């Protein structure tokens, strides 16, 4: 079963991750994270599968994140509120988001990809 690879084609980190997947012949379904932003229920499932904190899924260096003042808002936000934000705009999600049957990686780190996807 191919992994789901949520990415933004203009993102350099996403391009590196995609190249890595191609070089290692990892089957994936590329999904444009802005055109097909994961729903709240999809995100909840992905986050639970990852066992990472909800805050790890935010693109904290993004323009949208700063515009919305999320640095301060997330301090007291509930998981439900965080899901609302993430599902509202794909640019708020840290990318690439790579999702397998029982594994998830957020962002791209070559060592993490090696340990997770090979």
- What is the domain-level CATH number for residue 60? 3.40.30.10
Nearest-CA neighbor of 68 among 44, 52, 79, 84?
A: 84
pLDDT value, residue 13: 97
What is the CB-side half-sphere exposure of residue 32 using CA atoms within 13 A?
Answer: 5
pLDDT value, residue 41: 98
The CA-to-CA distance between both ends of the chain, in Å, stands at 14
| Range 83-105 average pLDDT | 97
Q: State which H helix or E strand residue 31 sits in.
A: strand 28-32
Range of the domain at 78: 3-117
pLDDT value, residue 73: 96
pLDDT value, residue 1: 77
pLDDT value, residue 34: 97
Task: Collect all residues with Cβ–Cβ distance below 8 Å to 116 and sequence separation of at least 6.
Answer: 98, 100, 103, 105
Nearest-CA neighbor of 37 among 12, 66, 80, 6?
A: 6
pLDDT (tens digit per residue) in 18-46: 999 999 999 999 999 999 999 999 999 99
pLDDT (tens digit per residue) in 53-86: 999 999 999 999 999 999 999 999 999 999 999 9
pLDDT at 109 over 90: yes
**How many distinct structural domains can be found in the chain?**
1
- pTM for the whole structure: 0.95
CA angle 12, 8, 18 (to 5 degrees): 60
Task: Collect all residues with Cβ–Cβ distance below 8 Å to 43 and sequence separation of at least 6.
Answer: 57, 83, 86, 87, 93
């Amino acid at each position: 079963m191919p992994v789901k690879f949520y990415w933004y084609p203009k993102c350099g980190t996403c391009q590196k991750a995609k190249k890595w997947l191609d070089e290692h012949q990892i089957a994936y379904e590329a999904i444009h994270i802005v055109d097909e932003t994961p729903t709240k229920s999809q995100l909840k499932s992905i986050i639970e599968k990852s066992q990472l904190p909800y805050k790890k899924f935010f693109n904290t260096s993004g323009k949208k994140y700063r515009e919305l003042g999320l640095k301060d808002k997330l301090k007291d936000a509930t998981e439900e509120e965080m899901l609302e934000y993430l599902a509202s705009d794909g640019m708020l999600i840290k990318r690439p988001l790579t999702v397998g049957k029982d594994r998830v990686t957020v962002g791209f780190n070559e060592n993490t990809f090696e340990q997770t996807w090979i």
